[in-house]
Each structure stands twice: as C-alpha cells, then as structure tokens.
Amino acid sequence: MSLDSRLPSGISRSTSAPQTEDEEAIERAAVYARTSSSSQRFGYSIGEQVDRCVRQCEQMEWTVTYVFTDEAESGRNTDRPKFQEMLDRARVGCFDVVVFWKLDRFCRSLVDLVKTEEQLNEWEVSLQSVTEYIDTTSPVGRFNFRNLASAAELESDLTSQRVRMGMHGLAKEHKWPNAMPPLGYEKTSDGKLRVLEDEASVVRTIFQLYLREKSMPRVAHLLDESGLRTKEDKAWCKQSVRKVLANEIYIGKYRVADFEDYVDEYRILTDELFTEVVDTRYRYRHQKGRMEKSRKKEKAKRILSEYREWRGL
C-alpha cells in the first residue's frame, strides 16, 4: 500500500487540499517527515512518521493540507528538496503549523534549527513535535525548543564521533569500511581485503594503457571495446579510470578515517609503475607555468614595440 493511500481523504504529498471560506478559522497543518539511511534500521520510516503526525493533527483538530517527505536525506543541514519546498509554502501562508515526529527528524543543527524557527515565526507558522513538548508561540516555549535543539545537536555530534571512532578501529586492523572494495580486491569475512588476481590484472592493464595512450578517455574507450567493466559492472569513463589511477592502495598505502599504514599484502603494482603514471598524469602542470610565462613575456614585448612605434622611438 502506498503512503498516499494511507493518508486521510483530501491530503496528498506537497499538494494543497481544497479550502472554503469557513476553513479560515481552522489551523492548517503541514506534516514534515525525514529519513536517513541509518534511521531506517530503527523503524522510523516515512510512513510511520506521517501516520503519527496525522493522528496528532486529528487530536488537535487541525486540518492537514500538506505532507512533505525527504527520504534518505541528512538532517545536518536544511539543503533538502522537500524541506525547502515546505519553507516556500510557509512563506506564502499556506499553513499555520508544521508537525513532525521528532525534533531530529526536522533538523539536527542548532544554528539551522533556530534560524528556521525564527523564519517560521516571522511568517506566523508554529512548530509541533509529536514526541516532545514544543510550543514556539511563547517565550518559555521557545526556550524549551532551543534546549531540545541543543540536545538534538549533541546527540548528532556524539553519533558522528562514535562512527569516526568505529572507523578508526577498523582502520587500525586494516579492514575495509564498506561493502564495495576497490577494483582488484574482495572483502573477506573478517573485513580485510584480499587481492583478486583477475581484477588485479585489469588494474595493471589500466596503468599500462595509460602510459601508452596518455589519455583517460582513450583508456576508457579501449576498456569498453575489450568488454571489460568497472567494479560496479558499468561502462568505463574518464572519472572511473582516474579513480583507479589515483588509488594508492595499489602500492600498499592504506588510508581510512585519517589512519594511514603500509599493507604489503594489498600491493598490486610496483612503486615504479605507479610513480611513472603519476608523473605522466601531471606532466603538463609545470609546462603550463612555463608556457604562460613565455606568453606573458611575448605580450610584454609586443606592447612595448607598439608603444615605441606610436611614440616614434
């Protein structure tokens, strides 16, 4: 069953319900719901958030006119499509209150949260949380709101710190932090990398082709022509070739979560081959400077010559 089919009659996502002159005295509510990839694991789905918010509005005898949902969007900032649409609608007076399941679903950053609340207050739009007491229409309510906002920001920061600590712990054991290892490797049951010789051969081919062709688009074209695919089973392009050429793990340099170490068993290439490719990739960097300096000198000579000719010197 779709989310829209579970909503009460007359409510749709980001669309306004018909209004009559008699409805002007009724508080119109907008529901906002958000999920991130991590929140999905704990049951705070979009559907559950919206259902609880709608029930809250029914208890308050508010008419729900809009439902805004951002799926798999971070709450660390307000750069979210439906959140911005919600603000646009609030600015023109489409509703009187925004209802959400929990404060951290609305926004995690204290600065963004306070700024958003001040904007909504200017537009005479209040905030309502299903799980926390928030009443932004009074000074005491705004004080409580900012205390809760601080707690939400602290919880977010602590979560980020725990994630970084966990990543650092993995890194010290030379484990790979996600399910997609680089081309040339597979992730073992203990979380470490193991060289796959068939893919390692492709890595060596890419480096050798680049030394010969000196062009990433050309290498991508040759790989596609030969029927080879990327690790993600996609066609090759300049960016995917560059990703391989720039990865120092192929010479055993392991870098994860600010942790760096040398892991000999992860080596696929020689230092000489990798260095030669790096030098080739950046071969124009110094030449460009010399060319620009030469052109500047020629331009200066030309201007001086024209000036002397004009003055009859």
Kindly report, residue by residue over 235-244, the tens digit of the pLDDT: 999 989 999 9
More confident residue, 205 or 133: 205
Alpha carbon distance, N-terminus to C-terminus of the chain? 88
With H, G, I as helix, E, B as strand and everything else as coil, classify residue 31.
strand
Note the pLDDT of residue 174.
84
How confident is residue 299, by pLDDT bands cut at 50, 70 and 90?
low
pLDDT tens by residue, 89-109: 999 999 999 999 988 888 877
pLDDT higher than threshold 50 for residue 173: yes
Count of structural domains within the chain: 3
Tokens of 186: 């597979």
With H, G, I as helix, E, B as strand and everything else as coil, classify residue 267.
coil
- CATH value at residue 242: 3.90.1750.20
Q: Are residues 134 and 19 in the same domain?
A: yes
Whether 176 is covered by a domain: the verdict is no
For strands 28-34 and 63-70, give the pairing.
Answer: parallel
How much is the average pLDDT of 4-31? 52
Q: Are residues 146 and 201 in the same domain?
A: no
The structure's pTM equals: 0.44
What's the domain range around 309? Answer: 286-313
On whether the CB atoms of residues 100 and 33 are closer than 8 A, the answer is yes
Q: Are residues 261 and 212 in the same domain?
A: yes
How confident is residue 1, by pLDDT bands cut at 50, 70 and 90?
very low
